[in-house]
Homo-oligomer: A and B are copies of this chain.
Amino acid sequence: MVEEKNILLTIAYDGTGFSGWQRQPRARTVCGELEGLLSAVCGIPVELFGASRTDAGVHARGQSASFSGRMGIPATGIERAVNDALSQNRLERVGEIRIVSALEKPMGFHARYDAKGKRYSYRIRNTGRADLFLRNYCYQVAEPLDADAMQEAASFLVGEQDFRCFLSAGGNPQKTTVRRIDSCSVEKQDDEIVLTVSGTGFLYHMVRNITGTLVEIGSGKRLPAEIKRILESRERSKAGHTAPPQGLYLEEVYY
């Protein structure tokens, strides 16, 4: 039935080939690709609102985005039609982007403004042997890292705090730089160290700047407790480097 619908998409993508999430006039972006396909499938001009504006090279297993309009196609039909169009590889039915689910939501629901929190993971490959097949999927760090020291430092990040020290220049001006981190864990998995962080919201480059700082702690350049002084300073220059985009995954958006 043709009626006004509000659709929430959960989306996975490999960010390697995209100039990030956010639509741009002359660049290939995830949002731009999806808007084109959704407009064709739904028969209306679609404007898609993503919960997170992931940077170029950043991946997602659970980005959320919503759009609305008068359309006849049900949510399940959108999922199927868009995934068909996205399957570059017909035999195996897998593409760079996949709609994980499409759900009809009440009018007024908005993927960005209604998000209660997000969970990200960051993959560090910590071995002297770089793996060229993983170059777009993790941060290659040759120096041995002490995951326990990184976990100790990570525990100081939990709670409601001013995270201004982890805000990169170039982000949108922010009203407040106070956020709440609900959990932050560092886990060693074979040749990798995986950081998982969830919270109410994240500043521009915040997870990558946290990761860079934790890597410097893991390599022994800084002590774990130093992260408390970095937070108190509220100065970006006191924190560590910005870890590269390809290790970062948007895992889930909470509502």
Q: A139 — which chain B residues lie within 8 A by C-beta?
A: 92
Given contacts A59-B133, A132-B12, contact A140 B92 (CB under 8 A): yes
A window 127-141: CB within 8 A of B: 130-133, 135, 137, 139-141
Question: A248 to B67, alpha carbons, bound, how many Å?
Answer: 40
Question: A134 to B73, alpha carbons, bound, how many Å?
Answer: 31
Q: How far is the CB of A143 from chain B (nearest CB, A)?
A: 12
Given contacts A89-B135, A135-B89, contact A130 B244 (CB under 8 A): no
B130 and A92 form a contact (CB under 8 A):
yes
A134's nearest neighbour on chain B, judged by CB, is B94
Question: A215 to B171, alpha carbons, bound, how many Å?
Answer: 50
Q: How far is the CB of A10 from chain B (nearest CB, A)?
A: 13
Q: A252 — which chain B residues lie within 8 A by C-beta?
A: none
* A118, CB-defined interface residue at 8 Å: no
Total residues of chain A contacting the partner, CB 8 A: 23
A window 75-117: CB within 8 A of B: 89, 91-98
* A163, CB-defined interface residue at 8 Å: no
Partner of A91, one of B97, B131, B133, B244: B244
Partner of A135, one of B94, B130, B132, B133: B94
* A14, CB-defined interface residue at 8 Å: yes
A137 and B132 form a contact (CB under 8 A):
no
B244 and A96 form a contact (CB under 8 A):
no
* A49, CB-defined interface residue at 8 Å: no
B98 and A132 form a contact (CB under 8 A):
yes
Q: How far is the CB of A101 from chain B (nearest CB, A)?
A: 14
* A21, CB-defined interface residue at 8 Å: no
* A18, CB-defined interface residue at 8 Å: no
B14 and A133 form a contact (CB under 8 A):
yes
* A166, CB-defined interface residue at 8 Å: no
Q: A93 — which chain B residues lie within 8 A by C-beta?
A: 130, 140
The 3 A-B residue pairs with the shortest CB-CB distance in the complex, in nearest-first order: A92-B140, A94-B130, A94-B135
